[in-house]
Amino acid sequence: MASASTPSKPATDELKGNVDTFELPWVEKYRPINLKDIVGNEDTVSRLEVIAREGNMPNLIITGMPGIGKTTSVLCLSHQLLGPAFKEGVLELNASDDRGIDVVRNRIKAFAQKKVTLPPGRHKIVILDEGDSMTSGAQQALRRTMEIYSNTTRFAIACNQSSKIIEPIQSRCAILRYGKLTDRQVAKRLLEICEIEKVPFNDGGIEALIFTAEGDMRQAINNLQSTYSGFGYVSADNVYKVCDQPHPVVVNGIIDGCARADVEGALDKLRALWSDGYSALDIITTLFRVVKVHAGLQEAEVGFTHMKILEGVGTLIQLSGLIARLAGMAMKPELFNV
C-alpha cells in the first residue's frame, strides 16, 4: 500500500544497503516503518498503536479505498511487534495473485506450522493484501486454518471491500475501516517530499496533484515523481500532461458556459477536448469533480451521464446531451414564453 505517512528517517535508512535509495520509487523510499509516522485515520491508527504496545494482536480486517495506508499500517504493526524477527515471523501474500485454495492449504498452513523464535508473547503474522480477491473456496479453507493455529499465528487482511470477505472470517476478526485522506494531509506529505528531494514546484502544481489523486496518497506521490522526472518542475499544466487528464480550467469553462446558458460556447470547448483525444470517461470524471464545487448545477444529471458512459455509451453525443440539459436548467423560464 501506499505511503500515507510523513517521511521517516529510520525508514529511509533501513532501505539503504544493497539498493541505492535514489533508484527506488518515492512511494517505497518514503514508506514508514513506525505507526506514529502514518498520516490520516488517527483514531484507527491509535488502536493499532495500543495493540503494538500490549502485544496481543487479534485477527484483523483493514478495509478502505486504495492508497490510504492499509498495507503500510499492517507492515508497521508487524515491525513494531516482532522487531528483528520480522523476516522470519511474517508471511506476506498478495491475494489478488495467490488467491486459490492451494495457497491456503500449502503456503499458509506450512507457515502456520513452522517453528520460529519470536519475542515473548508474540505471534507469527500472515498478511493477506487484496483479501477481497480471494476465491470463496480459499476463504472457506482459511477460516478453519485461522481457528486451528490461533495460538501461534494471527492474520491481517487488507481489502477494499470488506463485504467480499465471507461472514465466518469477518466474525473472527476485528474490522478497522480507513477513510479517504484529506487534501491537507496529502499536501503536507507532498511538500515534505518536495523539500527532501529538492523538487521545484508552485502552488498550482501541488493543487493539481491533490485534485488528480482524490485522497489516494500513493497516486499523489507517484504523480509527483513522474512530473518531476518528466519536466523537472511541478506545475499544474505539467501534472495534467503526466496524468493525461483534461485540465479543470477548461472543464470549468464548459460548466460556466452551461451556467450562462451558452450552449454553443460550452459545446465548442467540449469538442476541443474530444479532438485532443480525451475519452468520454476522462471528460465526465473531471467534469463531475469540478461540478461538485459549482453552485447552481445539478450533480444528478452529471451522475446519470457518468452511469451511461460506464455502461458503454461513451460517445460525444452523450456528452453533448449532458451540456444541453445543464444549459437548459440554467435558462430563465421567460425565455420559453412565446
Domain boundaries, the chain: 34-177, 248-336
Can you say whether the dihedral through the CA atoms of 49, 52, 58, 60 is positive or negative?
positive
Q: 99 vs 179, which has greater pLDDT?
A: 179
Q: 329 vs 218, which has greater pLDDT?
A: 218
Give strand pairing partners of 113.
none
Which residues, 6 or more positions from 160, have their beta carbon under 8 angstroms from its beta carbon?
A: 63, 64, 65, 66, 130, 132
Which residues, 6 or more positions from 327, have their beta carbon under 8 angstroms from its beta carbon?
A: 257, 258, 261, 262, 263, 266
CB neighbours of residue 329 within 10 Å? 14
Q: SS3 string of 80-133?
A: HHHHHHHHHHEEEEECCCCCCHHHHHHHHHHHHHCCCCCCCCCCEEEEEECHHH
Q: Can you give the pLDDT at residue 17?
A: 40
Distance between CA 109 and CA 148 in Å, rounded?
Answer: 10
Give strand pairing partners of 234.
201
pLDDT level of residue 22 (50, 70, 90 thresholds): low
Global pTM value: 0.76
Distance between CA 250 and CA 229 in Å, rounded?
Answer: 25
Q: Can you give the pLDDT at residue 96?
A: 62
Calculated CA dihedral for residues 221, 227, 233, 239, nearest 10 degrees: -90
- Residue 49: enclosing H or E segment and its boundaries? helix 42-54
Q: Where are the alpha helices (DSSP H) in 114-235?
A: 136-148, 167-171, 183-197, 203-213, 217-231
Is the Cβ–Cβ distance between 157 and 62 less than 8 Å? Answer: yes
- Assess whether pLDDT exceeds 50 at residue 336: no
Written as nine digits, the cell of 58 is 487479534
Is the Cβ–Cβ distance between 210 and 220 less than 8 Å? Answer: yes
pLDDT in tens, 113-170: 888 888 888 888 988 888 888 888 888 888 888 888 888 889 999 888 888 888 988 8
Written as nine digits, the cell of 34 is 513506525
pLDDT in tens, 222-253: 999 999 988 889 998 889 888 878 888 888 88
Q: Can you give the pLDDT at residue 11?
A: 47
Distance between CA 337 and CA 149 in Å, rounded?
Answer: 77
% residues pLDDT > 70 (the chain): 88
Q: What is the mean pLDDT of the chain?
A: 82
Phi, psi for 8 (deg, rounded to 5): -110, 115
- Assess whether pLDDT exceeds 60 at residue 335: no
In CATH, 248-336 is 3.40.50.620: no
pLDDT in tens, 103-118: 777 788 888 888 888 8
- Range 208-215 average pLDDT: 87
- Assess whether pLDDT exceeds 70 at residue 217: yes
Q: Can you give the pLDDT at residue 141?
A: 84
pLDDT in tens, 32-45: 888 888 888 888 88
pLDDT in tens, 262-313: 888 888 988 988 888 888 888 888 888 888 766 556 778 888 888 888 888 8
Q: Can you give the pLDDT at residue 222?
A: 92
pLDDT in tens, 50-102: 888 888 888 999 998 888 888 889 899 988 888 888 888 888 888 666 667 77
Give whole-number Cα distances, 29 to 2, 158, 291, 311, in Å: 11, 21, 36, 39
Is the Cβ–Cβ distance between 27 and 3 less than 8 Å? Answer: yes
Distance between CA 213 and CA 208 in Å, rounded?
Answer: 8
Is the Cβ–Cβ distance between 156 and 59 less than 8 Å? Answer: yes
Distance between CA 7 and CA 161 in Å, rounded?
Answer: 28
Architecture in CATH of 34-177: 3-Layer(aba) Sandwich (3.40)
Distance between CA 125 and CA 282 in Å, rounded?
Answer: 41
- Range 187-203 average pLDDT: 90
